[in-house]
Structure 1
Amino acid sequence: MTDVYQKYDLKKVINASGKMTILGVSQLAQPVIDAQKFGDEHFFEMSELINKTGHHLAKLLGAEDAIVVNSASSGIAESVAGLIGRGSMYHVYHPYDSRFENREIILPKGQNIDYGTPEEVMINVGGGKVVEAGYANMCRPEHIEMMITDKTVAVMYVKSHHAVQKSMLTVQDALEVAHKYDLPLILDAAAEEDMQKYIRMGVDIIIFSGAKALAGPSSGLVFGKRQYIDWVRLQSLGLGRAMKIGKENIMGLTKAIEEYLQNGPENGESMKQRLVPFLAGLNEVPYVEAKQIQDGAGRDIYRASVVIKPESPKNAKVVTAELKSGNPAIYTREYRSNEGIIEFDIRAVDTNEMQAIVERLHEILDE
């Protein structure tokens, strides 16, 4: 099927940016593809499939309940809608009706991020109203607490490398404040790796992307407290209809999570070992200084960080643009390119692709 690239005049891609939606997120293992294929080839009573795969996954995870949804984004919208409606069928059919006055979702300002769309867009789709707490450079528990009113329906926390990390309250801090006021905590943990950590902590609604760390198909998982998951499930009859997921992806994600819980992702030590020859090659490129760094949000992920030296004839922004313009297109983590830094995530990069990256950098930077 490699001729698909030629058929549609598509460039091949080396994905050194990580689990990114713009590149299709993940490569699926064969057991996951087989599960999808079974879903493709058979019929199901969809409500039963959704309910029973959710119960199965909840049991594996130690949660009260779970539901497979279209994506982490839809998980945010449907969770917010569920908390506003609280099981009301009238709300399901009229999710934006003014009679539902309690719509405030408290979110730390430094976590109102754009991950491809702003967090607040999905909260608004669910009918919620974002109330930002704290400041761009800090949020403490008291900042959350002072924003709580009788219109508050939940506190939300975004656990992401995109979010502000310094001077930020922890998930546990946010949970304690929420529960002090009998409010649920929604946790957007889309790209996190430990699926059971937040269940043990007592988080009420946990949202994972199916296609990121879990290496499943396009999908999401919402899990946590049974009452809240029931309310989320109800949204499939309302605004969730536009976010429905197919049987093949339900089967695929269920298998991906089974595989993930059994085998786990590549660990940090493995990444460190694979980085050694890659870093050596990068440091032979003119104007490049490369070293190993850990993920900014503290996950067990290690990457190559490349500084393009000030005397280079091409700055980091130009280098990343030229990497993407070739065929194969080489995508990197360019969030800090304005500082002269490019990061390479190797989770989906093999030895031959690492060599191709080094060779392309030589082409770009050799005088």
Structure 2
Amino acid sequence: PGAEDSADESRDHFAELGLRTFINAAGTYTALSGSLMRDEVTSAIRYVARHYVKLDDIQDHVGERIAARLGCEAATVTAGAASALMLGIAWVLCGTDRDKVEQLPDLTGMKQEVILQKAHHVGYVHAVRNCGVKIVYVETREELVAAIGPQTAMLLFINASNFSGQVRDEEFVDIGKRHGIPCFNDCAADVPPVENLWKYTQMGFDLVTFSGGKGLRGPQSAGLLLGRKDLIEAARLHAPPGDNTVGRGMKMNKEEILGMLVALEHFLDRDHEADWQMWETQVQHISESVRSVPGVDGDSRARDRQPRTVTAYTLGPGAGEDQTSGGATSPHRWASVDRDGRWRQRDRYHDVDDEPGRGTDRCATPDTDSPRRGDEILMSVASPTFMDFQPEWSGKGATDAEYEGSRIPQEFLQS
């Protein structure tokens, strides 16, 4: 490569654009730009960006390498987990019939239903509906079995909701096998633990997807689709570089494909026990630090995927005081930052699952209409993974959680 290919590391692109970065302790949310790619991944991306290669060829070879590492029949890199959902259902509907591939989302002559438990409904299900299918919702095992019929194309399972629905993963797969219906498990954000990468294909799910830009720390625009060889090959018919397909807009270039492979290899080769110990140390430090704020109590706990900090807030003397500026705040007026990063004013606490004062991993700052420097930092450090909220006052509201209480001291932010 010539001199023109050398990166200018001294150029501050964000400053030129008027953007500011933040400390992300909320999680690998898409709106917060997912996770940060490791140096090995960005190095691979820089390497492949300087060369031409046929997209089908690199997909074939990378897919074979991924499948070998994960012990599944086949794999392909997709434009994220939502893309994998759409490509997966497209295969179920069309098989390898190229006329049907070009016909989607017109389902004339094809099966038209996907069965999903009500407790598993999430916004990402729209990726399946983009192919024109109807979602049939069920709650019990009996309803699931009764819903299976001639129009059933696929059984869809959202792994994060495994313990919310009445039909758990193994039973779900068993029902699909008994009726000859393909089962798809959306595990987008379910790494770590590392064993999830092969657990669900070995359990019997026909297709499984993972996001590339979350725990794997690959490109956020990438994902993995794993499963049966015939299904993966058929799903590829709908993906670029082919044209006249529903997946044409889900383009994966060589940079994402190789970057995803390197991210996966690096993740698999890590000392996962050491990572867990590091996370435990971090959340313990957070818990100890937040306890220095009046009215706040923090506790670190183990979790199935990673350690977490559970923080309780009680309204009382000092709880409504702005620790960074010394100003008093209204006990009932808050401006929250949702997962999409948008600020909006609140006038009361909101509940989750009808439990007063419980919150998810969203956060807020007191009495602000727009972010200030301290507020923006608080947005990122106030909710490491999940927070339980237990204020003395709470009110019914939408399922948007609130951060309540004092600001985090500056010494904690700096640490």
Is TM-score (shorter-chain normalized) higher than 0.5?
yes
* 2:95–2:234 Cα contact (<8 Å) kept: yes
Give the match's secondary structure for 1:14: coil
Q: What is the CA–CA distance in structure 2 between the aligned matches of 1:280 and 1:315, rounded to whole Å?
A: 27
- 1:337 deviates by 7.6
* 1:210–1:217 Cα contact (<8 Å) kept: yes
One-letter identity of the residue aligned with 1:190: A
* 1:209–1:221 Cα contact (<8 Å) kept: yes
Deviations 1:40-66 (A, max 9, x none): 111001111111111111111111011
Match of 2:204 in 1: 202
What's the % identity of the aligned pairs?
A: 22
Match runs of 1:101-116 below 5 Å: 101-113=110-122
Q: What is the CA–CA distance in structure 2 between the aligned matches of 1:100 and 1:333, rounded to whole Å?
A: 49
Match of 2:285 in 1: 277
Do residues 38 (structure 1) and 47 (structure 2) align? Answer: yes
* 2:309–2:385 Cα contact (<8 Å) kept: no
Pick the aligned partner of 1:20 from 9, 29, 48.
Answer: 29
* 1:308–1:315 Cα contact (<8 Å) kept: no
**Structure 1 residues 322 and 244, CA gap change in structure 2 (3 angstroms):** same
Give the match's secondary structure for 1:242: coil
Match runs of 1:185-196 below 5 Å: 185-193=183-191, 194-196=196-198
Match of 1:346 in 2: none
Match of 1:222 in 2: 225
Give the match's secondary structure for 1:44: coil
One-letter identity of the residue aligned with 2:289: G
Q: What is the CA–CA distance in structure 1 between the aligned matches of 2:410 and 2:183, rounded to whole Å?
A: 46
Q: What is the CA–CA distance in structure 2 between the aligned matches of 1:199 and 1:362, rounded to whole Å?
A: 43
**Structure 1 residues 166 and 75, CA gap change in structure 2 (3 angstroms):** closer
**Structure 1 residues 106 and 336, CA gap change in structure 2 (3 angstroms):** farther
Q: What is the CA–CA distance in structure 2 between the aligned matches of 1:8 and 1:15, rounded to whole Å?
A: 20
- 1:335 deviates by 7.7
- 1:173 deviates by 1.1
Q: What is the CA–CA distance in structure 2 between the aligned matches of 1:157 and 1:167, rounded to whole Å?
A: 10
Deviations 1:274-305 (A, max 9, x none): 2222211100101211112344xx32x11112
Greater helix share, 1 or 2?
1
One-letter identity of the residue aligned with 1:149: G
Q: What is the CA–CA distance in structure 1 between the aligned matches of 2:265 and 2:216, rounded to whole Å?
A: 10
One-letter identity of the residue aligned with 1:156: L
Pick the aligned partner of 1:245 from 244, 252, 259.
Answer: 252
One-letter identity of the residue aligned with 1:278: I
- 1:12 deviates by 1.9
Do residues 148 (structure 1) and 194 (structure 2) align? Answer: no
Q: What is the CA–CA distance in structure 2 between the aligned matches of 1:35 and 1:74, rounded to whole Å?
A: 23
* 1:286–1:362 Cα contact (<8 Å) kept: no
Q: TM-score, structure 2 length as denominator?
A: 0.74
- 1:125 deviates by 1.1
- 1:270 deviates by 2.7
- 1:76 deviates by 0.5
Give the match's secondary structure for 1:212: coil
Match of 1:91 in 2: 100
Do residues 123 (structure 1) and 128 (structure 2) align? Answer: yes
Match of 1:181 in 2: 179
Match of 2:67 in 1: 58
Match of 2:58 in 1: 49
- 1:164 deviates by 7.1
One-letter identity of the residue aligned with 2:307: Y
Q: What is the CA–CA distance in structure 1 between the aligned matches of 2:277 and 2:138, rounded to whole Å?
A: 37
Q: Which structure has the greater CA radius of gyration? A: 2
Pick the aligned partner of 1:132 from 124, 128, 137.
Answer: 137
Cα RMSD for the two superposed structures? 2.7
Asked which structure has the greater RCO (Cα within 8 Å, sep 6+), the reply is 1
Match of 2:170 in 1: 172
Query: Is 320-329 or 202-211 further displaced after alignment?
Result: 320-329
**Structure 1 residues 159 and 285, CA gap change in structure 2 (3 angstroms):** same
* 1:80–1:127 Cα contact (<8 Å) kept: no
Figure out how many residues of one structure are paired with residues of the other and give that number: 336
* 2:27–2:385 Cα contact (<8 Å) kept: no
One-letter identity of the residue aligned with 1:170: R
* 1:317–1:337 Cα contact (<8 Å) kept: no
Segments of 5+ residues of structure 1 without an aligned counterpart are 135-139, 344-356
Q: What is the CA–CA distance in structure 2 between the aligned matches of 1:262 and 1:275, rounded to whole Å?
A: 24
Q: What is the CA–CA distance in structure 1 between the aligned matches of 2:372 and 2:136, rounded to whole Å?
A: 43
Match of 2:238 in 1: 235
